[in-house]
Amino acid sequence: MPRVASDDHPEEAPSGSGRRRRPQLLWLVVPYVLYLGALPLVNRVQPVVLGLPFLFVWLLGATLLTPVAVWLTWRGDHRR
Amino acid sequence: MSSAAVATSILGVFMVATVGLGLLAMRGRGGGQGGLAEWSVGGRSLGAVFIWVLMAGEGYTSFSYLGAAGWGYNYGAPVLYVVAYMSCGYAVGYVVGPMLWAYARKHSLVGITDMVAHRYGKKWAGAVVAILASVFLLPYIQLQITGMGVVVSTISYGAISLNWAYFIGFAVTVGFVVVSGLRGSAWVSVLKDLLVILTLGFLAVYVPLHYFGGYENFLDRVVTEKAEWLTFPGHGESGFGQWWFITTSFLNSLTVVIFPTTVAGYLGAKSADGLRRNAMWLPAYNVLLFVPMLLGLAALFVVPGLTGADSNLALFKLVVDSLPAWLVGVVGVAAALSSIVPMAVFMLVIGTMWGRSVLGLVPRWRGREKAASQVVVVVAGALALVLTYTAPNTLVRLSLISYEGMAQLLPMLLLGLVWRKLTLAGALSGLVVGVGVVCALVFTGNDPLWGTNAGIVALALNLLVALGVSWGGPAENDDRPDDQVLARDPLSEPLAKGAETVAR
């Protein structure tokens, strides 16, 4: 079974440890970007979507997208 | 029968049933004769489903049920940090959970105190962590006692005063935890989750219909009349602005993965992949957390004028005002159980930490750890009760203090497990500074400090000191190889030599 190759970017592999690289872990940063990084841009009531103030719509969306982000990591881990 | 009598009887019957269920769970398991392990970690035989129920259940404590409504009422948007940190925390848990799980399995450890003792090769380091972690769990137990008190007092329609209600909450929970242990908690947790989800779902539909004639009108009035609540920094001179939200959510999302109760859940899992799967779909559950906050906003229109810790009552004032007595009783049961079960788990974790890491160090107590742990549990509960009377606070405030303190263990535990050069002297110096700064800031009323979460200020200093002392301080002579001391996510391990040759 082929495993995730660490040969494509050998300079990024930790020296000597032979640790497997898992670039898919970057997906786990997505919730931080959505909830925290984007906050200054979405801290507003307008536009109101389906009666909900915009900040709530955004955070609700982030809550629904977090499982997707974690799933993408999981998929990356299981595809080898 | 009067309304108070109906609602209180329903609650009473369920409380008796709860303790009964706890006793039943222990039958055939040696009952009172079972050892510390049976009582505290369910004999390590709890199935994945029960462990999951316990872990998910901790997301729905009276903190989210009543506290979120209370803060939604007081401040509005800032309370959404709960959703943010839980979601981010699950993402971090995807990596940290399997790492801690594998570490504990490899070295037969049962909690964070064990891990610290093993990592630094010193039993007393585990004892220090056990004592500190217990102290920082006290506000969380106080939170549950406060929540339970609010419920009992409100659904008796005031017949039971808040002060008596706190005591009843304490007594029921301590009784429950001593007789039933973790297995009983897991059983009751199933009942609790069902009731919480059903009642929250019901209230989410019923309250806007009953008071506002539907969602459209409710949301419309919120947006036009209460816009101040809908963005940061929220209502009033809260001090909980955007930067506070960002720092707090960040700190809590890291802390939640080492919270002793979370770790207890991790270690109970059957496989590392089970934990990853949980991390994948548990965040979707957080959608439910928006409901209590909306109800808090609804309460603004219906029961205006609650201030300070009284805002804890916001949700129940609505319930009592709009529902028939028997339904008030049912909602009360859901809320009461959402205090009892988590409180029981917190107390059990304290009991286990002491049984393993503190009491075991005293030769005279060896062999009597279970009884001694139960004494510790009762003492911890009593201390939290005293705090409830002497330093009442909003539920969310209590949770924040708990997390800010527990966060100070992050360098010692998490950094220590992945970075060998962190010395015990460094980790301890950092911990002392971090805890000192948190206490100083919280007790002088300087949290948040310049709009920043006090815990993260303390954590930064903690980390600086830990790194400084590790580099400049005395070297350690621990000659164990790295892979005996450090932890790794099993997926990041290099494949075994044999497996590699097979693959090729």
Give tens-digit pLDDT for B8-60.
888 788 878 877 877 777 665 554 445 656 665 555 555 555 666 666 666 66
Q: pLDDT at residue B280 above 70?
A: yes
In a domain, B302, yes or no: yes
Give the nearest partner residue to A45 out of B230, B245, B492, using CB atoms. B230
Burial B22-38 (b: 16+ CB within 10 A, else e): beebbeebeeeebebbb
Contact B75, B278 (CB under 8 A): no
Looking at residue B74, its pLDDT comes to 81
The highest-confidence range among A10-19, B233-242, B471-480, by mean pLDDT, is B471-480
* Per-residue pLDDT tens digits for B62-109: 777 777 888 888 888 878 888 888 888 888 988 898 898 888 888 877
State the average pLDDT over residues B418-424: 85
Give the residue carrying structure tokens 């708990």. Answer: B402
More confidently predicted of B441 and B58? B441
Task: CATH number of the domain at B22, please.
Answer: 1.20.1730.10
In a domain, B498, yes or no: no
State the average pLDDT over residues B175-192: 76
> Which residues have CB under 8 Å from B131's CB, separation 6+?
B358
Q: pLDDT at residue A65 above 70?
A: yes
Domain encompassing residue B97: 3-27+43-394
In a domain, B356, yes or no: yes
In a domain, B428, yes or no: no
State the average pLDDT over residues A11-21: 49
Q: Which two tokens stand for residue B266?
A: 């991790």
Are residues A1 and B223, on separate chains, in Cβ contact within 8 Å?
no
Looking at residue A12, its pLDDT comes to 36
Among A65-69, B103-107, B202-206, B476-480, the minimum mean pLDDT is found in B476-480
In a domain, B389, yes or no: yes
Q: pLDDT at residue A1 above 70?
A: no
Among B388-392, B419-423, B465-469, the minimum mean pLDDT is found in B388-392
In a domain, B467, yes or no: no
Are residues A28 and B92, on separate chains, in Cβ contact within 8 Å?
yes
Separation between Cα atoms, residue B283 and residue B7, nearest integer Å? 34
Looking at residue B294, its pLDDT comes to 84
More confidently predicted of B94 and A6? B94
Are residues A73 and B94, on separate chains, in Cβ contact within 8 Å?
yes
Looking at residue B32, its pLDDT comes to 46
Q: Which two tokens stand for residue B143?
A: 């939170």
Contact B404, B454 (CB under 8 A): yes
Which of B105, B104, B148, B112 has the alpha carbon at shortest distance from B128?
A: B112
Which of B142, B305, B297, B315 has the alpha carbon at shortest distance from B230?
A: B297
* A18 confidence band (pLDDT: 50, 70, 90): low
Looking at residue B445, its pLDDT comes to 74
Q: pLDDT at residue A11 above 50?
A: no
In a domain, B33, yes or no: no
Looking at residue B395, its pLDDT comes to 63
Give the nearest partner residue to B242 out of A32, A40, A59, using CB atoms. A40
Are residues A59 and B83, on separate chains, in Cβ contact within 8 Å?
yes
Task: Please give the helix or strand (H or E) that residue B8 lies within, else none.
Answer: helix B3-26
> What is the number of domains present in chain B?
1
Separation between Cα atoms, residue B16 and residue B336, nearest integer Å? 12
Give the nearest partner residue to B494 out of A18, A56, A70, using CB atoms. A18
The interface predicted TM-score of the complex, written ipTM, equals: 0.76
> How many interchain CB pairs under 8 A, A with B?
117
Contact B67, B395 (CB under 8 A): yes
Which of B69, B401, B79 has the alpha carbon at shortest distance from B240?
A: B79
User: Does the beta carbon of A26 lie under 8 angstroms from any beta carbon of chain B?
Assistant: no
Q: pLDDT at residue B499 above 80?
A: no
Looking at residue B155, its pLDDT comes to 79
| Selected residue of B81, B86, B92, B94 to mutate for chain A interface (largest A Cβ count, 10 A) | B94
* Per-residue pLDDT tens digits for B231-270: 777 677 667 778 888 888 899 889 988 888 788 777 777 7
* Per-residue pLDDT tens digits for B368-412: 767 777 788 888 888 888 877 777 666 666 677 788 888 888 888
State the average pLDDT over residues B329-336: 85
Separation between Cα atoms, residue B435 and residue B416, nearest integer Å? 18
User: Does the beta carbon of A6 lie under 8 angstroms from any beta carbon of chain B?
Assistant: no
Looking at residue A15, its pLDDT comes to 40
Q: Which of residues 76-115 of B touch A (CB under 8 A)?
A: 77, 80, 83-84, 87-88, 90-92, 94-95
* Per-residue pLDDT tens digits for B186-242: 777 778 888 888 888 888 888 888 888 878 788 888 777 777 777 777 677 667 778
| Selected residue of B225, B231, B250, B253 to mutate for chain A interface (largest A Cβ count, 10 A) | B231
B-chain CB neighbours of A6 within 8 Å are none
In a domain, B54, yes or no: yes
**Count of positions (residues) in chain B:** 504
Return the residue of A nearest to B287 by Cα: A63
More confidently predicted of B281 and B112? B112
B-chain CB neighbours of A2 within 8 Å are 503
Give the nearest partner residue to A55 out of B77, B279, B491, using CB atoms. B77
Among B37-46, B180-189, B295-304, B346-355, the minimum mean pLDDT is found in B37-46
Looking at residue B331, its pLDDT comes to 85
Looking at residue B31, its pLDDT comes to 45
Looking at residue A19, its pLDDT comes to 62
| Selected residue of A32, A44, A73 to mutate for chain B interface (largest B Cβ count, 10 A) | A32
Q: pLDDT at residue A5 above 50?
A: no
Distances from the Cα of B6 to the Cαs of B1, B198, B332, in angstroms? 6, 20, 12
A-chain CB neighbours of B249 within 8 Å are 35-36
Q: pLDDT at residue A3 above 50?
A: no
Report the mean per-residue pLDDT for chain B. Answer: 78
pTM of the model: 0.80
